[in-house]
Amino acid sequence: MDLGALFGSFDNFLSFTIGGLVFGAIYALIALGYTMVYGVLQLINFAHSEVFMYGTFAVAWTFIFLHGTESASWSLGKALPILLVALVAAMVMSAAIALLIERFAYRPLIKKGAPKLIALISAIGASFALAEAMGLRDRFAGWVGLKDDLADYVAPDKARDVFSNPVTIEPHKLFELGGYGVTDVDLVIIAAALLMMVGLDQLIRRTRLGRGIRATAQDPESAALMGVNSTRVVQLTFLIGGLMAGAAATLYMMKIGSTRQNAGFILGVKAFTAAVMGGIGNLRGALLGGLVLGVMENWGAAVFGSEWRDVVAFVLLVLILLVRPSGILGESLGKARA
Amino acid sequence: MLLEVEGLCVNYGHIEAIRDISFGVEEGTVTTLIGANGAGKTTTLKTLSGLRKVRAGKVIFEGKDITHLPAHERVKMGLSQSPEGRGIFPGMTVRENLFMGAYTRRDKPEMAVDFDRVMGLFPRLEERIDQVAGTMSGGEQQMLAMGRALMARPRVVLLDEPSMGLAPKLIAQIFSIITEINEQGTTVLLVEQNAAQALKRAHTAHVLETGEIVRSGTGAELAGDDSVKAAYLGGDI
């Protein structure tokens, strides 16, 4: 295959690859939430997309609180202090939403031994409720007397529209790679995502908490006999998924700069796809699945046109699962070795 | 009594798995529950470890009522179990499995002492220490499950059918290790289908039939009891 002909030139091929890695890194961070919960509970947490979406709003709100609503275009360096605060805010917000989902949409059902299908329906319900609640945020703000302040940036009729971060982050070219200018924003996104993945991987493999999570994933009853508190482990799993989704939300807002109440849906579906593609329940699979999905769909968009991006992504999913039904890496979180 | 069970009743849905069971485990002894499949032996042990909900009755451990205490709290108090079917963590190494047994402990130097003790009891595990547990034979997995339960440094260790599915030679070895564990000072509550071996090793024994205790005595007494002989010992010991 002549790549040069397909992509116009090799330069474009590299640029599409790096662009794909940037999105792949974000997919991978969200995919962790799906894969961790699946590894421990064998449940797909369909409400995880909203965990991410709330994080994106937390980023924009942080900029509004610390900078104001006035539009601005900053370099990454200038935005960095507020970005770091936004990262913490998004992680706290997403973790809180994830824990709420666990507490109210899952734990009562699991305690009563409800079938997995019931928990799935509960999660879909939680997903809609959370997304619609975000659409009604101006009303909630009004109830607590914030209407006047918030009306500036959440007019009632605009609540469902795109909600932008007032500060746009201008990427700066750092160096050339095969004719493609790699920007600081791209590099930070890829590096931050990889760093978090490596950190989490080590946490699961090396620490006592990680051993508790792995034990519960492999045999919940035996884990309880060892003195592992399974409720705590499930909570911890949701918490970690939430923290990672919050980080993903921050990186997404750096790159895209705007969100909306249903922004979680497509990102959630893509991240879930990445998790399944890599082997659901497998942390390294989530990373690999995310990166492969991000790169392949960007290549697909380059070859067939950007309207084909999602078609390529899901055809790829089907093809990979036909060949390897348990995903690229296959093994579960439980079986992951230290 | 280290462990006392008073009028314990446990249901699975509407089915009574165990009915009004009472017995005690004296500190320093081997106590055994024998009985056929489905008599309620495993349910009794799971209930003692906190994995099953109690409908009625009490479980008292070291004078404290632990009937409704969650499973993970009981391990901290000194009650550990090697479950039926071994329940090892297949994706972890032998070493990791053993240290899962000490999950609630923080006293690293003392954990090392217990690790050495387990290595002494099960030299085979030492040879396999970095092997993934899921790839070991049934007998090795059984040793691992028992060693893991000992890593909690329990006051009483509950052993659920340690001889299940093992070759006769290995069964004899496992039972002599049970005696050794007891002689080292750990109280043992043993559930077995292999009544002959269990009665030979036990100070006190109880026979469970369809969820009720039908006969109790010392191991030797029950081994000599005609009805026990007929039902569980098949004549030849």
Q: Which of B75, B93, B134 lies closest to A226 in CB terms?
A: B75
Mean pLDDT for back-to-back runs of 10 residues, chain A (338 residues) = 60 84 96 93 93 96 90 93 97 98 94 89 95 83 61 54 87 81 92 94 92 94 95 95 97 93 91 92 91 93 89 88 84 48
What's the Rg (C-alpha) of chain B?
Answer: 17
Domain count, chain B: 2
- Interface touch A224/B81, C-beta < 8 Å: no
Q: Closest Cα of chain A to B226: distance in Å?
A: 37
- B-chain CB neighbours of A221 within 8 Å are 51, 83, 87
Residue B181: phi and psi, rounded to 5, are -60, -45
d(CA A96, CA A52): 11
- Interface touch A225/B87, C-beta < 8 Å: yes
pLDDT value of residue A336: 46
d(CA A227, CA B72): 4
- Interface touch B91/A214, C-beta < 8 Å: yes
Return the residue of B nearest to A222 by Cα. B87
ipTM value for the complex: 0.93
Give a yes or no: residue A332 inside a domain.
no
What is the DSSP code (8-state) at residue B72? H
Task: Give the range of the structural domain holding residue B22, as residue numbers without chain letter.
Answer: 1-78+158-237
The answer to whether residues B52 and B163 belong to one domain is yes
Last residue of a domain, one of B109, B138, B153: B153
Amino acid sitting at position B128: R
Domain count, chain A: 1
Tell me if A49 sits within 8 A of A127, measured CB to CB.
Answer: yes
Return the residue of B nearest to A216 by Cα. B89
Last residue of a domain, one of B153, B176, B193: B153
- B-chain CB neighbours of A211 within 8 Å are 92, 96, 99-100, 103
The answer to whether residues B9 and B68 belong to one domain is yes
Give a yes or no: residue A47 inside a domain.
yes
Q: Which parts of chain A fold into alpha helices (H)?
A: 3-6, 10-41, 48-67, 76-100, 107-111, 116-135, 137-143, 147-151, 184-206, 208-218, 220-225, 230-255, 263-278, 283-304, 309-323
Give a yes or no: residue A331 inside a domain.
no
Return the residue of B nearest to A221 by Cα. B51
- Interface touch B148/A226, C-beta < 8 Å: yes
With b for 16 or more beta-carbon neighbours within 10 A and e for fewer, the A273-295 pattern comes to bbbbbbbbbbbbbbbbbbbbbbb
The answer to whether residues B169 and B228 belong to one domain is yes
Segment B160-180 shows an average pLDDT of 93
Return the residue of A nearest to B81 by Cα. A225
Q: What is the CATH number of the domain that holds A193?
A: 1.10.3470
pLDDT value of residue A154: 53
Q: Strand pairing partners for A32? A: none
The answer to whether residues B73 and B33 belong to one domain is yes
Q: Which of A212, A218, A227 lies closest to B91 in CB terms?
A: A218
Give a yes or no: residue A336 inside a domain.
no
pLDDT value of residue B232: 81
pLDDT of B234 higher than 80: no
- What percentage of chain B carries pLDDT values higher than 70? 98
pLDDT of B9 higher than 50: yes
- B-chain CB neighbours of A208 within 8 Å are 103
Task: Give the range of the structural domain holding residue A129, as residue numbers without chain letter.
Answer: 3-323
Return the residue of B nearest to A211 by Cα. B100
Q: What is the CATH number of the domain that holds B40?
A: 3.40.50.300
Last residue of a domain, one of B153, B181, B212: B153
Give a yes or no: residue A192 inside a domain.
yes
Give a yes or no: residue A64 inside a domain.
yes
What count of residues does chain A have? Answer: 338
For residues B133 and A324, which has the higher predicted lDDT (pLDDT)? Answer: B133
- A-chain CB neighbours of B153 within 8 Å are none
- What percentage of chain B carries pLDDT values higher than 90? 84
Give a yes or no: residue A333 inside a domain.
no
pLDDT value of residue B22: 95
The answer to whether residues B106 and B162 belong to one domain is no
User: If we measure between CA atoms, which residue out of B51, B48, B55 comes closest to residue B17?
Assistant: B55
Give a yes or no: residue A238 inside a domain.
yes
The answer to whether residues B59 and B118 belong to one domain is no
The answer to whether residues B70 and B170 belong to one domain is yes
The answer to whether residues B164 and B74 belong to one domain is yes
Q: Which of A211, A331, A336 lies closest to B100 in CB terms?
A: A211
- Interface touch B132/A337, C-beta < 8 Å: yes
For tokens 């893991």, what's the residue?
B148
**Which residue of B42, B81, B84, B100 is the best one to mutate when testing the A interface, meaning the one whose CB has the most A CBs within 10 A?**
B100
